Amino acid sequence: MARPEHSVNIEEKLAKVTEYWSPKTILEVNGLEVKAVKVKGEFVWHSHPEGDELFVVISGELTIEIRDRESVRLGAGEMFVVPRDVEHKPFAAEECQVLIMDAAGVVNTGEAESDLTASEEWI
């Protein structure tokens, strides 16, 4: 998809996300995709061999469990990078709105098989 020729309103994009754990791509820059996602409950353990994954919390609170490390808790306005190949599992007790940035074409569940695997979709 072509880059937008105008500014992108994050709140408007997040309003179009109707399912939890189903990220929607809103921008592409230098081979990276910025995705809007709403999360609630537990995700699956997974990793991304393609590259690092950036989480930016817009609203709510997100916990990222990391295999063999201490969990990371993020509130609105905070961000964290999960390094390439690091197994992790996001969790949110209540609805949390997040922007994720990772390599174009990366599957949200990595190589893990799950009912939560989302198809690529632009909004």
CATH of the domain at 75: 2.60.120.10
The Cα-based distances of 100 to 24, 81, 115 in angstroms read 10, 10, 20
- Please answer whether residues 62 and 55 qualify as being in contact, where contact means their C-beta atoms are separated by less than 8 angstroms: yes
Count structural domains, the chain: 1
pTM: 0.92
Residue 31 is assigned to a structural domain of this protein = yes
The string of pLDDT tens digits covering residues 10-37 is 999 999 999 999 999 999 999 999 999 9
Task: Tell me what pLDDT residue 56 has.
Answer: 98
Residue 99 is assigned to a structural domain of this protein = yes
Residue 42 is assigned to a structural domain of this protein = yes
Residue 62 is assigned to a structural domain of this protein = yes
What is the C-alpha separation between 59 and 51, in angstroms, rounded? 25
Range of the domain at 45: 25-103
The string of pLDDT tens digits covering residues 53-102 is 999 999 999 999 999 999 999 999 999 999 999 999 999 999 999 999 99
Task: Tell me what pLDDT residue 66 has.
Answer: 97
Helical H runs in the chain?
Answer: 10-15
Task: Tell me what pLDDT residue 120 has.
Answer: 86
Q: What would the two tokens of residue 117 be?
A: 């695997």
Task: Tell me what pLDDT residue 107 has.
Answer: 85
Residue 119 is assigned to a structural domain of this protein = no
Residue 112 is assigned to a structural domain of this protein = no
Task: Tell me what pLDDT residue 22 has.
Answer: 95
Residue 52 is assigned to a structural domain of this protein = yes
Residue 10 is assigned to a structural domain of this protein = no
Structure confidence at residue 3 as a pLDDT band (50, 70, 90): low
